[in-house]
Amino acid sequence: MTSVANRAAATGWVLLIFLAWLIAYPLVLVLIEGFRGSHGWTLEYVNLFLQRRNEAQALWGSLWISVVTVALAAVIGVPLAYLFWRYDFPGRRLLGGLVALPAVLPPLVGVIAFLFLYGESGFTSLLVQWLFRLEEPPWRLQGAAAILLVHAYSMYVYFYLFTRAGLASLDGAVFEAAASLGAGRWRTLRRVVFPLLYPALGGGALLTFMTSLASFSAPYIFGGGFRVMTTQIVATRLNGDDQLAMIETTSLTLLALVALWLLRGAREAENPAGGRKGVPPALVPVRSRWLRLALMLLGWVLALVLLLPHLTLLLVSFVPAGTWTTEPLPPAYTWRNYLTLIEDPVRARPLLNSLWLATAATVAAVGIALVAGILSVRRRVLGRTAIQGLLALPWAVPGTVFAIALATAFSVREPLAGRFILVGTLWLLPLAYLVRNLPITSRAVVAGLRALDPSLEEAAASLGAARWRTLRRVTLPLLRPALVAGSSLAFVTAFGDFVTSIMLYTYDTRPISLEILSSLRQSDVGVAAAYGVVLMAVSAAVFAVGADQGSAG
């Protein structure tokens, strides 16, 4: 073996051990802790878990909410994608872009926007109350229905994007072949297009299901008496029943892994034809004038509905504290809320916190993903499957679970067992963000490396470029689109994180999401909304840069 290969193998082992310690070890500890009582091993908490009705209900709630979310998201997202990416009519481009907008709304921000919009003291509710002179709010945004509403709104985007990509990857001649064989629109759709889109739809379903299973913000704010497992875990921990929380965490993890296993086909499914030949399908112009008009109208109504939460947030962010009670529209507006965010050091802190936490976590995640990617795709070191598996694991495991796992692993000092006290320090939160970012960045790096023709790097080597120079001058520049896309997604996720933050933050690291929550608790809706707008704007800007750079490669 050459020294270069030796070095790669050694780095591979170090990386593997590090990832096992950071990702797998805390999960194992959670699993173990659930079976440990004050006098050694015990099944006490398992029994407790099995006996309590509300535990089963929470688990069942998580499951059925996720299944229904998948169905709703598909019913909205697939037809929309088909409409906007199969047919051509005025305004299609703009509207087709707007439809993907919920993607830039971090979960908690989406939830509070819905609260302001559809909540019992939100715009629509007040409007109805005012219109019909009602004494009471006409509805309460609570329980499973409210959660599903928010889920459907924020997650149809997955189906939309997957269907769009699936459509674009088809050979356009397939549509024409079906037509020339006498198949009408429906038969073509049913027999040809849908079957060809199955892999894409499967991908969308899996992503939606996992996201919904891990969803925390919506059930936390809107759940009321209705519990899903993520909120149940947090409640149990708040009660101090740490061991029971461990069992709950384990049950949720198992549910996620079983779902992943059942839907594994969706991840592996490839285009059965082995890639497209021919050209992507051309858009079908809508010829009938009335139909065009109807589609345009539909598109704009839709865009408005989709934009309403964003607009609501913006509007509320200008409302001075305590001025808006029962009027359908706020009576007064001010810049005050934004000024507070900048001027008041206590208010500005969470902004800076989220910025540095997300940046640090993203940079570290990209670095680790790069080393791991090069080692496993190019050097093909031993243990590369394990490395990539560990990197993907946090994707399958809900954020709440990782939060508990990290909090458990790093709450005692046992250096020999690889455990240190990080709880209550600055370091736990960025570590959690890092773990959650690893799947995103590593997937981007691996995809980028796979798409990169190795002969380019070989060419550089044959031109006498040393390993570092090849990396710096050839590999990294060519990987840039993938890196930018992956890191912008990672940054946005970390920047808006609520799930892990709520369990791991300290006063010094409190991020924006927590500040939104506390402003809301103090009925400071204007400030909460202003934070939300900042979060949304930064996410959108980073996304835009990511999309721009990602495509300019």
- Judged by beta carbon, residue 172 or residue 320, the one nearer another protein is 172
CB of 7 to another protein, least distance (A): 41
Chain CA centroid to CA 217, Å: 12
Q: What HEC string does 43-89 produce?
A: CHHHHHHHHCHHHHHHHHHHHHHHHHHHHHHHHHHHHHHHHHHHEEC
Residues whose CB is less than 8 angstroms from the CB of residue 33 and which lie 6 or more positions away in sequence, other chains included: 242, 243, 246, 408
- Judged by beta carbon, residue 180 or residue 385, the one nearer another protein is 180
Q: How far apart are CA 320 and CA 318, in angstroms?
A: 6
- Judged by beta carbon, residue 181 or residue 238, the one nearer another protein is 181
- Judged by beta carbon, residue 276 or residue 379, the one nearer another protein is 276
Q: How far apart are CA 197 and CA 194, in angstroms?
A: 5
- Judged by beta carbon, residue 183 or residue 263, the one nearer another protein is 183
Q: Give the pairing type, strands 40-41 and 36-37.
A: antiparallel
CB of 124 to another protein, least distance (A): 44
- Judged by beta carbon, residue 27 or residue 266, the one nearer another protein is 266
- Judged by beta carbon, residue 188 or residue 376, the one nearer another protein is 188
> H-helix or E-strand containing 215?
none
- Judged by beta carbon, residue 132 or residue 186, the one nearer another protein is 186
Using DSSP, state whether 453 is helix, strand or coil: coil
Torsion of CA 293, 298, 300, 302, to 10 degrees: -170
- Judged by beta carbon, residue 183 or residue 423, the one nearer another protein is 183
CB of 453 to another protein, least distance (A): 23
Tokens at 292, concatenated: 């065009």
CB of 264 to another protein, least distance (A): 19
Residue 419 DSSP label: B
CB of 428 to another protein, least distance (A): 48
CB of 280 to another protein, least distance (A): 12
Torsion of CA 138, 156, 229, 220, to 10 degrees: -40
Q: How far apart are CA 223 and CA 127, in angstroms?
A: 24
Using DSSP, state whether 522 is helix, strand or coil: coil
Residues whose CB is less than 8 angstroms from the CB of residue 185 and which lie 6 or more positions away in sequence, other chains included: none
CB of 163 to another protein, least distance (A): 16
CB of 198 to another protein, least distance (A): 8
Residue 272 DSSP label: T
Whole-angstrom CA distances from 444 to 314, 411, 485 are 33, 32, 7
- Judged by beta carbon, residue 190 or residue 473, the one nearer another protein is 190
C-beta separation of 76 from 159 below 8 A: yes
CB of 188 to another protein, least distance (A): 9
- In the complex, which residues of this chain contact another protein (CB under 8 A)? 171, 173-174, 176-184, 187, 191-192, 195-196, 198, 271-274, 277-278
Query: Exposed e or buried b for every residue in 507-541, given b needs 16+ CB within 10 A?
Result: eebbbbbbbbbebbeeebbbbbbbbbbbbbebbbe
Residues whose CB is less than 8 angstroms from the CB of residue 489 and which lie 6 or more positions away in sequence, other chains included: 440, 444, 543, 546
CB of 289 to another protein, least distance (A): 16
- Judged by beta carbon, residue 278 or residue 477, the one nearer another protein is 278
CB of 184 to another protein, least distance (A): 6
